């Protein structure tokens, strides 16, 4: 059974007497344990609305969302506590998602404290040091505040915070789109390393198809709240069946105009290196 199952999920927003917006229309997808699943589409396509429903920052009007057999919208008690620990999110903007009044130690250690994962303050502090080292930061950064770091470093802190509670599913909502191009690759490589080391399952949401092609084994394409195409990433990007997918791919810049294909260096490119 898939770790995450989304079946026939719909969500409509009222517009104060205006025509309602159908953000999601009978969306279905499955994420297998251990894989990185990509969800791509332009701004306003419904990606973030779906993510909010998956992590309980919003609720669907209809349909079902199951995480490891738990009904996500209806979860209560022990199921809800497990859901909140095992499903973690990395948001788009690390500047907005990190409390500026908290130190790095407090930010990363908060989940450990809330979920009672370490028996003492000393053990919690040791765990924070371990997590910071894992994402390329040091113990010397623990008493600093988010404003003292670059955008890429703040996103590393956000990733450490998400990993602190030992999640099984990491939901990444446009995690590099707010970063400079020069640091995007560093964060993507970090996520790939973390998945390999920790056995994470990842749902990766993006509008940057080059990033998704490099990172994800399977991909779904969403347009105006509907999944229009899905399958192995190499097939979806290599032989797109839907006109919208072809439009997205045509918009991807190719650094080398002599290249025969734009998907060159990712794990799904089929290159023999």
pLDDT tens digits, residue range 230-261? Answer: 999 999 999 999 999 999 988 876 555 444 44
Q: What is the pLDDT of residue 81?
A: 95
CB contact at 8 A, 227 and 39: no
Section 212-219 average pLDDT: 92
Number of folded domains in the chain? 1
Residue closest to 234 by CA, chosen among 51, 38, 42:
38
Q: Is 194 within a domain?
A: yes
Q: Is 233 within a domain?
A: yes
CATH of the domain at 32: 3.40.50.300
Q: What is the pLDDT of residue 214?
A: 85
Q: Is 195 within a domain?
A: yes
Q: Is 257 within a domain?
A: no
Q: Is 115 within a domain?
A: no
Q: Is 131 within a domain?
A: no
Residues found in the chain: 273
Q: How many CB atoms lie within 10 A of CB 27?
A: 25
Query: Is residue 269 predicted with pLDDT exceeding 60?
Result: no
Query: Is residue 106 predicted with pLDDT exceeding 50?
Result: yes
Strand order in the sheet with 18-31: 18-31, 4-15, 62-67, 70-71
Q: Is 119 within a domain?
A: no
At 211, list the tokens. 């990033």
Residues of the chain with pLDDT > 70: what percent?
A: 91
Report d(CA 185, CA 85) in Å as an integer.
28
For 48-199, strand residue ranges (E) read: 62-67, 70-71, 87-90, 169-173
Q: Is 71 within a domain?
A: yes
Report d(CA 88, CA 67) in Å as an integer.
12
Section 7-23 average pLDDT: 87
Is residue 268 very low, low, confident or very high in pLDDT (cuts 50, 70, 90)?
Answer: low
Let me know how many helices (H) and strands (E) the chain has, helices first: 10, 10
pLDDT tens, position by position, 43-95:
889 999 999 999 999 999 999 999 999 999 999 999 999 999 999 999 988 88
- Ramachandran region, residue 253 (left: φ > 0; alpha: ψ -120 to 50; beta: rest): beta
Q: What is the pLDDT of residue 187?
A: 86
Section 21-41 average pLDDT: 95
CB contact at 8 A, 156 and 108: no
31 lies in which domain range?
4-92+167-250
Burial 213-242 (b: 16+ CB within 10 A, else e): bbbbbbbbbbbbbbbbbbeebbebbbebee
């Amino acid at each position: 059974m898939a770790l995450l199952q989304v079946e026939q999920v719909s969500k409509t927003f009222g517009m104060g007497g205006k025509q309602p917006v159908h953000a999601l229309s009978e969306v279905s997808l499955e994420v297998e344990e251990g894989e990185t699943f990509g969800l791509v589409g332009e701004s306003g396509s419904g990606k973030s609305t779906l993510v909010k429903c998956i992590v309980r920052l919003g609720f669907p009007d209809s349909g079902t969302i199951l995480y490891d057999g738990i009904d996500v919208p209806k979860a209560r008690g022990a199921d809800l506590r497990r859901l909140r620990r095992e499903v973690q999110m990395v948001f788009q903007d690390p500047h907005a998602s990190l409390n500026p009044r908290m130190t790095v130690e407090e930010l990363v250690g908060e989940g450990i404290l809330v979920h009672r994962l370490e028996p003492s303050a000393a053990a919690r502090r040791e765990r924070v040091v371990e997590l910071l080292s894992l994402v390329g930061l040091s113990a010397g950064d623990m008493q600093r505040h988010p404003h003292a770091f670059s955008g890429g470093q703040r996103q590393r802190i956000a990733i450490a915070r998400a990993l602190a509670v030992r999640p099984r599913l990491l939901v990444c909502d446009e995690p590099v789109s707010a970063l400079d191009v020069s640091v995007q690759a560093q964060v993507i490589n970090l996520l790939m390393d973390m998945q390999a080391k920790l056995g994470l399952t990842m749902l990766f949401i993006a509008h940057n198809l080059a990033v998704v092609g490099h990172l994800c084994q399977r991909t779904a394409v969403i347009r105006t709240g509907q999944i229009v195409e899905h399958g192995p990433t190499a097939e979806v990007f290599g032989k797109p069946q839907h006109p919208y997918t072809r439009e997205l791919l045509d918009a991807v810049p190719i650094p080398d105009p002599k290249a025969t294909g734009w998907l060159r260096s990712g794990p799904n490119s089929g290159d023999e290196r």
